[in-house]
Structure 1
Amino acid sequence: MAVKHASEADIPSEDRFDYFWNLRGEWVEEPNQRRGGESGVQRILSSHGRLLYAKRQIGHIYRSWLHPFGRPTVLRERDALNGLRLLDVRVPELVFCGAQRDARHQWRALLVTAALDGFLEIDNWYTAGGRERHGEGVHDRLLQELAVILARMHKGRWQHGCLYAKHIFVRVTGEDEAARVEVALLDLEKSRRRLSSTLAAVHDMKQLRRHSSWSPTDWQKLSYFYRTAFGSAIKGLE
């Protein structure tokens, strides 16, 4: 299916929601029913050919003590994207976010982000032979960079909330000592601030351990790098 080219230049701010909402492209996450509504992700192109991802939702909300009647989940994800950028945690660039009620008083919400050029899901990087190509030294640096990014997020009291391998993206450019290792985090829909950095760390790191495919040796390395970056050990993580 061909994607459509967006031509968002010079669109008044009050018209941007309808503009992006009416764009259509290839579904990369088919709409699914959850949280009492519908959510899916499409791939579109900007007017300059830049690859974008549009998460579109209808009636898809979360509730909290601050929002007992419900709030569109993309607004929580927008808050997390902005918060993590301030902490120098690499996340997708936010292009547009908005929410409005339709004629039936149901929420329509939209989050548009730029693609992470050259990044791969970490498991896909392994499958493509990235570890073998770059060697164990670069792989150790990748684990260290991931640990630093996660510790930085947690020290800012941000909890990812859905920290699975499919939401960790990596990019390695160059070779040997000159290799540049970068890590980015995606899908911050469940992210939130915790009362303490330890609460955020315990939730995410235990979740990552349960669902990761790293060997015991690799996990020990990641745990060591994380403990060093975070500044203290997380009980039950070893």
Structure 2
Amino acid sequence: MTVAFSNVSSLFSPANLESWWQIQGEWVEEPNDRRGGHSGVQRIWKDDTLLYAKRQTGHIHRSLLHPFGRPTVLRERDALLGARKAGVTVPEIIYCAAEHNAQGWRALLVTKALDGFQPIDEWYAGNGRERYGEALHQQLLQKVAQSLASLHTARWQHGCLYIKHIFVRISGEGQTLTPEVALLDLEKCRRRLTSKQAALHDMLQLRRHSPWDQADWQSLIGHYQRAMGRNFKTLYNATTR
């Protein structure tokens, strides 16, 4: 049985799972042994375009809809499509497919690199806040808040929202500099029954793993609540671990 998804731009030609599987590159996440199998990420090139390929063998998750399990890349594929539909910037899917045979599951998710983006914690470490000034930093906090609110309004919960999963890019020149925000690593992302469930889980988790002081956090939460159209008193007083 093969389950496939392909979103092919003019740069790529359709290919089956075996053809994509044979394209090898350097490991950026060495294969880990969990969930009954292996999963790792390689950096690969195709037609002079940088891609990331998540390779899995026997790496599955179980749910009420899939009691016998299915590869986690299929859940990540669904989340990437859902997030993009909600207006959140996430990696573009180039190819995704999963195959089940006598040896078990084999699955592959190929996404396009986010050109010019970097993890927001690296942006801070590189003195981005000092370089671009406080006004732009406040715009950045607003963009982070709006991106997360868009995700949660659509009832998608990231599920593993650490600061390293928020990426930033500063575009434009001079007085037209604009921060852009993207979200990565949606492998644990899932749909919740309510936006509140998604919001509280992710935002409290983010607070425990964030570099912001209380003033920055309250600024972010202010933007977030306005974007959500509701108040979460619990979030204002949340503290770091």
Matches of residues 1-238 of structure 1 in structure 2 within 5 Å? 9-11=12-14, 15-47=15-47, 49-104=48-103, 106-175=104-173, 177-238=175-236
Using the TM superposition, give the Cα deviation of residue 23 of structure 1 relative to its aligned residue in structure 2, in angstroms: 1.1
Using the TM superposition, give the Cα deviation of residue 216 of structure 1 relative to its aligned residue in structure 2, in angstroms: 1.1
Using the TM superposition, give the Cα deviation of residue 9 of structure 1 relative to its aligned residue in structure 2, in angstroms: 4.5
Residue identity opposite 1:17 in structure 2: L
Equivalents in 2 of 1:138, 1:9: separation in Å? 37
Q: Deviations over 1:119-169 (max 9, x none)?
A: 000000111121111000000000000100100110001101011111110
Using the TM superposition, give the Cα deviation of residue 44 of structure 1 relative to its aligned residue in structure 2, in angstroms: 0.4
Equivalents in 1 of 2:13, 2:148: separation in Å? 37
TM superposition outliers: structure 1 runs of 4+ over 6 Å = none
Q: Deviations over 1:105-124 (max 9, x none)?
A: x1011000000000000000
Q: Deviations over 1:48-102 (max 9, x none)?
A: x110000001111111111111011000000011111111110000000000024
Q: Deviations over 1:214-237 (max 9, x none)?
A: 111111111111111111122411
Taking every aligned residue pair, what percent have the same amino acid on both sides?
Answer: 61
Using the TM superposition, give the Cα deviation of residue 175 of structure 1 relative to its aligned residue in structure 2, in angstroms: 4.6
**Corresponding residue SS for 1:171:** strand
Equivalents in 2 of 1:92, 1:56: separation in Å? 16
Residue identity opposite 1:123 in structure 2: D
CA contact (8 A) 1:138 1:176 kept: no
Equivalents in 2 of 1:56, 1:87: separation in Å? 26
CA contact (8 A) 1:134 1:176 kept: no
Residue identity opposite 1:212 in structure 2: S
RMSD after superposition:
1.3
**Corresponding residue SS for 1:140:** helix
Equivalents in 2 of 1:79, 1:21: separation in Å? 21
**Corresponding residue SS for 1:237:** helix
**Corresponding residue SS for 1:83:** helix
**Given the two structures, how large is their TM-score scaled by the length of structure 2?**
0.91
Equivalents in 1 of 2:66, 2:233: separation in Å? 32
**Corresponding residue SS for 2:83:** helix
Give the number of aligned pairs: 226
**Given the two structures, how large is their TM-score scaled by the length of structure 1?**
0.92
**Structure 2: where are the runs of 5+ without partners?**
1-10, 237-241
Using the TM superposition, give the Cα deviation of residue 174 of structure 1 relative to its aligned residue in structure 2, in angstroms: 3.1
CA contact (8 A) 1:134 1:175 kept: no
**Corresponding residue SS for 1:54:** strand
CA contact (8 A) 1:174 1:180 kept: yes
Equivalents in 1 of 2:81, 2:215: separation in Å? 34
